[in-house]
Amino acid sequence: MSENRTESRLRVAITCGDPNGVGMETIMKVFSDSRMLEQITPVIYAHPDLVKANKKANKIEEFNFNTVPSAAELIHRKVNLVPVVKDFQLAVEFGKPDKAAGEFAFRSIEMAATDLASNRVDVLVTCPINKDTIQGKEFNFPGHTEYLARMAGTEKVLMFLVGPSLRVGVVTGHLPLKDVSSAITRDKIMEKLVLMRESLLRDFSISSPRIAVLGLNPHAGDNGLLGSEEREIIAPAIREATEKGWHVYGPYGADGFFGSGAFGKFDAVLAMYHDQGLTPFKALAFESGVNYTAGLPVVRTSPDHGTAYDLAGKGLADESSLRAAVFLACDIYSRRKEYKEYASNPLSRQDVKDSRDDKRE
């Protein structure tokens, strides 16, 4: 059946990730629940033989799907699978890094991203890849975020980890620790604050977001005793943001900030580097956390875990984070539509704000 855009269900593109990891297993577990099809039409970019290999290894019997030639021919109320290659010649070896598996993972991303750009699907959810084995002539990026940013023609994106009680963004992402200090500038911090604030307004419907900024050094530098970045770079960026009327606070020492539970007073936290933000986030929200790429013109989410080679092929992978990634992608898509309508009609803005405030009380 041809795609019918009178359908209210969102078309959710889902890449399979590394075939030797847990991506396909988590997809099958999520969509073994028929209730997932009530509001969305999933489009999985993989191959029927990869599904068969996972069914056998992980003992998943309840997963049913329909193979379709492209996202232009979706069957609603069904799980759709678009083959990324005609002939499946990949030897699936669960738990093993493999260049051929990396090439297959890239083809899945490439096809799904192309369909997203062509409006054949509405949102994109990506399963975990091996950042080493996927490297090649067509993919020479640290990860999904940078690849999708290049496709979108922008360098200004934010890795934004979203959980039930915590949202964390990072100034520097996939960067060696030795290079972090030199990469942190006042302009870079401001760029990430702009992206974070805009996302909180547009993607999360928070009308007056409160943002905490972490320091780089232990104890936020101890007034210069342990480093000067806080005084010379981070604090000036925070002042610039507050002069714009934004609710931005800090810099805070990361250990005390998370250890005391102070993060609960803020709508989001901006960390200076990857592990500073992601370590506490994953400790608090590993099974329910979602990696969201803010700043793109499209909606892309991902589970917050990796390929989990140690669990692959054993039927032990937890699908909760992938399920949360699907739900968040759909929620953000809907909120963006609402925000666009809100922004284009200034006469209704106060009514919308009042409505949101009422919901919080």
Q: How many C-beta neighbours within 10 Å does residue 155 have?
A: 10
Instruction: Tell me the C-alpha distance between 39 and 41, whole Å.
Output: 7
Does residue 355 surpass a pLDDT of 60? no
Give tens-digit pLDDT for 224-249: 888 899 999 999 999 999 999 999 99
Domains 1-154+296-361 and 156-292 belong to one CATH topology: yes
Q: Rounded CA gap, 321 and 319, in Å?
A: 6
Closest C-alpha among 339, 310, 305 to residue 323: 305
Task: Give residue 7's pLDDT.
Answer: 59
The per-residue pLDDT of the chain, averaged, comes to 92
Other Cβ atoms less than 10 A from the Cβ of 342: the count is 20
Q: Which residues contact 138 (CB under 8 A, 6 or more apart)?
A: 106, 110
Residue 5 has pLDDT above 60, yes or no: no
Confidence of residue 357 (pLDDT cuts 50, 70, 90): low
d(CA 289, CA 107): 26
The DSSP H or E segment spanning 183 is: helix 180-183
131 neighbors 142 (Cβ within 8 angstroms)? yes
The domain locations on the chain are 1-154+296-361, 156-292
Confidence of residue 361 (pLDDT cuts 50, 70, 90): very low
Residues 6+ apart with CB under 8 A from 69: 82
Residue that is written with structure tokens 């997203």 in the block: 116
The pTM assigned to this predicted structure is 0.89
Class of the CATH domain delimited by 156-292: alpha beta
* Predicted local distance difference test score (pLDDT) of residue 343: 74
Q: How far is CA 72 from CA 47, 81, 90, 125, 229, in A?
A: 17, 12, 26, 18, 51
pLDDT tens-digit series, residues 191-230 = 999 999 999 999 999 999 999 999 999 999 888 888 899 9
User: What percentage of the chain carries pLDDT values higher than 90?
Assistant: 82
State which fold the 1-154+296-361 domain adopts. Answer: Isopropylmalate Dehydrogenase (3.40.718)
What residues pair up with 257 in beta bridges, in sequence order?
none
- pLDDT value of residue 347: 57
